[in-house]
């Protein structure tokens, strides 16, 4: 559905328009929010932020204005701002506190050194994925983290499924080379 068709649907039937907007843009918003909050937020926090983004869009998007710009840009701006706000709140609240549950987990035989090494490795992989640049970063995340098909990714990014598969293949080759230089072997 094009932006103008969606705008018309929102004018005719706000409820149907909101549902269609949510359906069309949920993966896009989720990817933006997740990328900003992945290191500081729980999945519940990410989902809450995505809900806040759509609430903001539903409250403030004016279908009667003369603005005829890109709806995706508008949504992206709101998603980025909400995610940054949530990041700031969560970062400020993290501090140096530790819960009693976490102390109990420390005694439970978990190999803390191994967990720390795995965390460092995960950060290196994530940074290597981010270094691929857009849209390759989004393609890799949506394909291998969210499990989206090439067709779904293509729809989200306004590309063809063939282009998505080609970009994914090239990005994986670059990623594999970059990770091997860091001593990490990659299995896909």
Q: How many CA atoms lie within 13 A of 63 on its CB side?
A: 17
Angle formed by the axes of helices 112-131 and 161-181, nearest 10° = 130
What would the pLDDT profile of 5-27 be if each residue is shown by its tens digit? 877 887 888 888 888 888 888 99
pLDDT attached to residue 96: 44
The residue extents of the domains of the chain are 3-94, 114-181
What would the pLDDT profile of 89-114 be if each residue is shown by its tens digit? 887 766 544 444 444 444 445 555 55
Q: Is the dihedral of CA 70, 43, 119, 141 positive or negative?
A: negative
Q: Enter the CATH code of domain 3-94.
A: 1.10.1740.10
Burial of 83 (0-12, 13-18, 19+ CB in 10 A): buried
Prediction pTM value: 0.48
**Higher per-residue confidence, 116 vs 165:** 165
Say which CATH topology domain 114-181 has.
Answer: Arc Repressor Mutant, subunit A (1.10.10)
């Amino acid at each position: 559905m094009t932006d103008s068709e969606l705008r018309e649907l929102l004018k005719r039937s706000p409820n149907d328009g909101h549902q269609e907007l949510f359906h069309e843009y949920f993966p896009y918003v989720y990817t933006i929010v997740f990328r900003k909050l992945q290191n500081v937020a729980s999945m519940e926090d990410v989902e809450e932020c995505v809900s806040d983004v759509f609430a903001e869009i539903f409250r403030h998007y004016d279908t009667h204005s003369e603005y005829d710009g890109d709806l995706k840009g508008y949504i992206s701006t709101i998603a980025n701002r909400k995610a940054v706000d949530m990041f700031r709140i969560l970062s400020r609240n993290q501090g140096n506190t530790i819960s009693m549950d976490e102390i109990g987990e420390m005694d439970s035989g978990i190999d803390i050194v191994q967990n720390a090494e795995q965390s460092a490795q995960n950060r290196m992989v994530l940074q290597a994925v981010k270094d691929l640049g857009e849209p390759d970063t989004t393609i890799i995340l949506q394909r291998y983290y969210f499990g989206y098909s090439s067709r779904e990714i293509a729809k989200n990014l306004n590309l063809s499924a063939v282009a998505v598969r080609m970009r994914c293949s090239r990005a994986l080759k670059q990623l594999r080379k970059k990770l091997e230089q860091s001593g990490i072997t990659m299995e896909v």
